[in-house]
A and B are shown apart, each in its own frame.
Chain A
Amino acid sequence: MTALLSVEGLRLGYARADVVHGIGLAVQRGSIVSLIGSNGAGKTTILRSLSGLMKPRAGSVRWSHGETVEIAGEAAHRIARRGIVQVPEGRQVFANMTVAENLRLGAYHVATPEAARRQEAVVARFPRLGERLRQQAGYLSGGEQQMLAMGRALMAEPVLLLLDEPSMGLAPLIVEEIFAIIASLRAEGRTILLVEQNASAALAIADYAYVLETGRIRLQGEAAEVARNPEVTAAYLGV
C-alpha cells in the first residue's frame, strides 16, 4: 500500500550544521505515527520541514492524496492547502485575536457558512472553546490554547495532522484529555504524525513509532514493540 506521506533521505540543518542526517519515514493513511526522542534530536525540525516552514537541504517528501506529488521545499501555505496541517510547538495561537477569529483562520479558504458548520463541530469536540469564543486567545490557559491550536487545525479538515509536542507544559489531567482527543481523531479515520517527548503517552496511542537520536532514526517498528524495547524503556520510559 502506498503511504500517504513518504520521506526519503531528508537532510535538514541550520546555518553550517546539519541537524537531521538523511532520514526516511512513512505515514500510512488512517494511522498515528509517533516520532519520539530527546530534546534536540531533530523532531520539531522534521515537522517544520514537512509543513514547509523550513526548506530541506536534500531528500524527497512524497504526498499521495489522489495523485502522488513531490512536496519537499514547497511553500508552507501551499502544503497547508494540500491538507497537511501542523499544530506548531508552543501552540502559536494568534494571541491578539479572539478564539472565534483563530478558528475562522483555520478554515481561511472556506466560505463562511461552511466555516460556521466546521466551527460547530470543533466546539462540540472542545466545549471549553465554545464558552470562550469572544475571548482574546492570549488570555486562555495553556491547555485551552492547546485545544484552540488543535481546533484551529481541525477547521481545515486536514488529511494529515502534524502535532508538535501537544503535551508540552500542560498539567497531567489536561495531557490525558488531549491524548484522548488524539485517539478519537484516529478513530474517525484521521492520519496523525505525532512528535512527543512524553514517549509513554505517545507510544500508547500510536500504531507505528520512530525513535530519533541526534538527527538519525535509531529504531522503528510497531508502537507496542518499540515500547517493549529495552533500550527505549531505559532511555525514554524511565523504567
Chain B
Amino acid sequence: MNSAGSLPENIYPDSGTIANMTASRSVWLALVVLIALDLIVPWGIIGGQATFAGPFLFWVIWTACAIVGMFLVFARWRE
C-alpha cells in the first residue's frame, strides 16, 4: 500500500522486458569483445605475419562474424 492507501502500481518489469534487457546486455558485451579482438589480435598476436593468412584474413573473418551477429539480432525484430 502506498501513502494514499491504494495498491502500488506494478513496479517490476514484465518477463518480456527482462528478457530484452538481458539480450541488450549480451549484445553490448559482444560489441565490446569484438572491439577488443579488433585491436588485440592484429597488434598483439598476428600483426607480423606477412601473408594474406595474417591480419587480412583475420579482419575478413572478424567482419563476417560481426555481420552474422548483427543479422541474428535484427532477425528477431518484428512489427
Question: Are A and B bound to each other?
Answer: no
